[in-house]
Amino acid sequence: MKKVIVTTFLLLIFNFILAQAVWQQDGIPVRQGVNIEWSRAAASVEDGGVVYTWSDTRLGDRDVWAQKIDSEGNELWGENGTLINGQINRQEDIVVIDVGNNEVVVAWVDFRNEDAGDIYAQKLDSAGNIMWAEAGVPLCLAANIQISLNIVSDDAGGAYVLWIDKRASNTDIYATHILSSGNIADGWEVDGNAVVVMNGDQNQHSFRKDGTGKAVVVWHDKRDAEDEDLYMQRLGENGQMMWGENGILLCGEPGAQESAKLIQMEDTGMVVVWRDKRNDNDGDIYARKVNLDGSFAWSNEVVIYEGSGIQRNPRLASGSDNSVLAVWEDGRNDSYYKDIFAQKIAADGNLNWDSNGKAVCVEANDQLNPRLTADANGGAWLIWDDGRQFGHPQEDIYIQHLSNSGEELLTANGQVVCDAANQQFSPLLRRSGENIFAYWGDNRESSTGMYLQIYDSAGNAQLAENGKLIYYGLCGDAINFQFLENGSNPVIVWEDTRNAISANQIYMQVLTENGEFNLAENGEPVTEMTGADQENMDAVINSAGTEIAMVWEENRSDFKQIYAQAVDSQNNSLWNLQGVHLGENLIAQQELPKISYKQAEDAYYTGWADFRNFEFAIFGQKIQNNVKQWDNSGKLIADRDGNDKLNDIVQNYYIWQSGSYNELDIYMLKVDENGDPAENWPTDGLEICTASGKQKNARGILVPQGVLVVWEDQRDDNLDIYGQLVSAEGESLWQPDGEPLVALANDQLISDAIFEDYLYLVWEDFRNGEYKDVYVQKYNLNGEQLLAEDGVAISSVTSNQTNPVISHNQNNFLVTWEDYRNVGGCDIYTQLLDAFAVPFWNETGEQVCGAIKAQDKPQSVSDGDNNVFVIWQDKRSSGKTDIYNIYAQKFEIDDTSNSTEVISPSRLRNYPNPFNPETTISFQLPNNMLPAKLEVYNIRGRKITAYEIQPGQNHVIWNGTSSEGNKVASGVYFYKLKQLGKTISTQKMLLVK
């Protein structure tokens, strides 16, 4: 859904509790990835520099960025690039072209208006300043999908942009012509002109200017469902399709012709090279030259290579001597791995190098994804991904320089550009002035960065070994997180895939009451890297808040085993830098670990499901004074018939489910300090519920009488919620097989429960058979309902509300849930209730986060005072795949009385945005409005500066300094208009340097 600032104005004449979200709208990032998408887009410009473009999610959703590099490798457009477009939702798949005067035109796929994608463009001057409308110029807003852009210069300061278009039932090709002024040229429709609209799909296009201010395109065409061919078209300045409606046939031979690439020759002819399957399905490489009137310049197609093995992925460059330089991946030497071959084609179609192609690299493993650019002497520079050392996914980058005659001018089989750790990928070459710029994506630090090397004409590297970092950012996901209550410094622990090339690790962060963090940005790992994934984590904090302990599964050998770690609040290791092996048995699978803290012993009880006896049983381990207390291989807790899977541990009470797929029962066992069954407890566990059907997902809550166990129960086909109260002596205090806490039509899924003198249970309820709602109920220790029969609906809007959680705050309770009321994904909503489930806030709840895409899996904790922290899994960065980060919000819950009416100001905005060095914030306060304050905050919620505001028209200039006069760093800032201590409007601005 859209990012919308929603301001609610209330006029109340009685006491109420005010919901005040303290931090920025839609939360602060606890863990936010950058997730660079490097799509090999770059343009050489006249001053000897190169402009590179990419997209990333550093600001939350995906935006498009650019950087200009000079001949010495200096970054000219700010330390981290310049923002081209940061509109709502995704901007991605950017392309760029030099249009003269050191200016470039860029175009991208834009999802601000719809999830299918539109096409926008922008022009940048030599300093990286935006030259057209700030929001970009829309090139196509037609319905359905527009993707796969290509761009060429019109040689007059503008550009032709071409794309794949699915506005009709098939995949077609459309284009437009945008002038230097940012206006669409005459003769072009609002959403582009059809280049080809035929039956079947038209795709795999290649697009080039023709040297006369026009452009030529070639594409793969399935208009004949039985024969895949190649067609071409020439585009005129004013929308003319100069080679007839729907193009001319380039090659219609039997078999598929595909992967065509197009290049302009100096004599204004166009040469096409493609992969051709007329002889066999492996494919060969063919070429043809086309004159600008659409006639063929060569009498026949030219066979570049026709032989054994797979030939694919041809790429072209225009030689400096009116030739064409071609490179491709070639499998003639190995049926599995590919090498790099090249050829030079003269203007008359003759092959200048070896008739079978020049072997550029024939090393071990794969050499893939070649790119090339011409030198000034009839030769070529070539670059590629190279797996000769370690294979996939540990590729390096290699380069070669071939002379006019095809002689290797660098080391045979290529010279290494970068052989840093992990994977380097998607290299690109650009020649600018006398230099060759090599640019690539790089995972040497596990997440993706973009690196650069510059070569002089002799092949000497000008920058540091393995390249210079241009921009780097965190990738991967944060999953399976837990929120641990710890006063004003709650702790977040999660599994992180940022280092997935090596292994997933457990990370931690400590929040502060100011929205800042005690640990490094985006968290810190709790162990050293072991090279094995850490997953299915469980965590707990001790009563003093001085130790955070966690357990997890990790496969360091042939089977998953259980490990543990404890750290202090500064993430200093207390147990072992690589984790403590809890149950050393390397020939059996161990799963689903749990951990609990028992204050009376200052000890941690852990447990897991263990397959060492060829059927899952429950094993455990106790850690006290940083030392394992039981046998190194763990202590057998219970081994009943069937598979035992641990559900929960409450202090030294173990709760598990046991049985087969269709018959699962719930058991519990209290153990003594030695791990043996406590006095009066059955050796193999107390039967909590052995009713027919499945009982699962049990959890325990410590109460004065012992432990209250609640679970999901399917004894009557539908899912219901049952409970049992068990004394410390092992006696079930409620009826056998449990008390039905919620047993209604359809399914009720247990979500969360807490005990504060009474049991408060919240659940996801499908009783109406149409929507899932959120309900709450209060029970005494006899299992009796104390609120309305069958529960109180927290929010019954006509959409799904799911996965509620509950936390206690003073005398009240905060319930937070996933909410689907708005179009475009799941949001996070919350409600404050008193002890009788009477809501204090809007009857349908207060929005915690309404950012684009889905936000789910909320968790909340109280600081024990008047504040509640909420975190959630956030997908605002998602695009081609889902991306999971963690965001947080803090709510101040203040008693307020005699509220004064607040009057809405006119639209709060700033210009320019982004800005450097200053921006003007403009708005108008009605004359009858009380004085207000304008406050500027950084992304962490820290106040930077403030201004007193009077009624009337206001123009506040902020020059990027704090109230102390210090310059602040580039980045996102928020300005808030406040009256009577309440925020009544908020906006975002971006300072770039």
Residues 381-424: pLDDT tens digits?
999 999 999 999 999 999 999 999 999 999 999 999 999 999 99
- The mean-pLDDT minimum among 341-355, 732-746, 772-786, 978-992 falls in 978-992
Tokens of 784: 């009796």
Mean pLDDT computed over every residue of the chain: 93
Task: Give the residue-averaged pLDDT of 136-162.
Answer: 97
What is residue 2's predicted lDDT score, i.e. its pLDDT? 29
What is residue 12's predicted lDDT score, i.e. its pLDDT? 29
Q: Do 764 and 803 touch, CB atoms closer than 8 A?
A: yes
Q: Is the pLDDT of residue 866 over 90?
A: no
H or E segment at 205? strand 202-209
Residues 937-968: pLDDT tens digits?
887 778 999 999 888 878 899 999 999 999 99
Q: In the chain, where are the structural domains located?
A: 253-419, 906-991
Task: Give the residue-averaged pLDDT of 620-635.
Answer: 96
Distance CA 658, CA 694 (A): 10
Distance CA 545, CA 197 (A): 66
- The mean-pLDDT minimum among 236-250, 273-287, 417-431, 888-902 falls in 888-902
Residues 967-981: pLDDT tens digits?
998 888 888 888 777
Residues 797-846: pLDDT tens digits?
889 999 999 999 888 899 999 999 998 789 999 999 988 898 888 888 99
What is residue 928's predicted lDDT score, i.e. its pLDDT? 57
What is residue 4's predicted lDDT score, i.e. its pLDDT? 28
- SS3 state of residue 773: strand
Q: Is the pLDDT of residue 6 over 60?
A: no
What is residue 899's predicted lDDT score, i.e. its pLDDT? 35
CATH for 906-991?
A: 2.60.40.4070
What is residue 898's predicted lDDT score, i.e. its pLDDT? 34
Residues 470-491: pLDDT tens digits?
999 999 999 999 999 999 999 9
Q: How confident is the model at residue 13 (pLDDT cuts 50, 70, 90)?
A: very low
Distance CA 69, CA 428 (A): 14
Q: How confident is the model at residue 284 (pLDDT cuts 50, 70, 90)?
A: very high
Q: Is the pLDDT of residue 679 over 50?
A: yes
Q: Is it true that domain 253-419 has CATH number 2.120.10.10?
A: yes
Q: How confident is the model at residue 896 (pLDDT cuts 50, 70, 90)?
A: very low
Instruction: Report the 3 state secondary structure along 742-765.
Output: ECCCCCEEEEEEEECCCEEEEEEE
Q: How confident is the model at residue 19 (pLDDT cuts 50, 70, 90)?
A: low
Q: Is the pLDDT of residue 309 over 60?
A: yes
When comparing pLDDT for 26 and 903, which is higher?
26
Tokens of 427: 């290299």
When comparing pLDDT for 7 and 199, which is higher?
199
What is residue 895's predicted lDDT score, i.e. its pLDDT? 53
Task: Give the residue-averaged pLDDT of 510-518.
Answer: 95
Distance CA 323, CA 387 (A): 31
Q: How confident is the model at residue 16 (pLDDT cuts 50, 70, 90)?
A: very low
- Angle formed at CA 423 by CA 422 and CA 426, multiple of 5 degrees: 165
Q: Say what percent of the chain tops pLDDT 70.
A: 96
Give the other-Cβ count within 10 Å of 948's Cβ: 8
What is residue 955's predicted lDDT score, i.e. its pLDDT? 86
Residue 597, beta-bridge partner list: 604
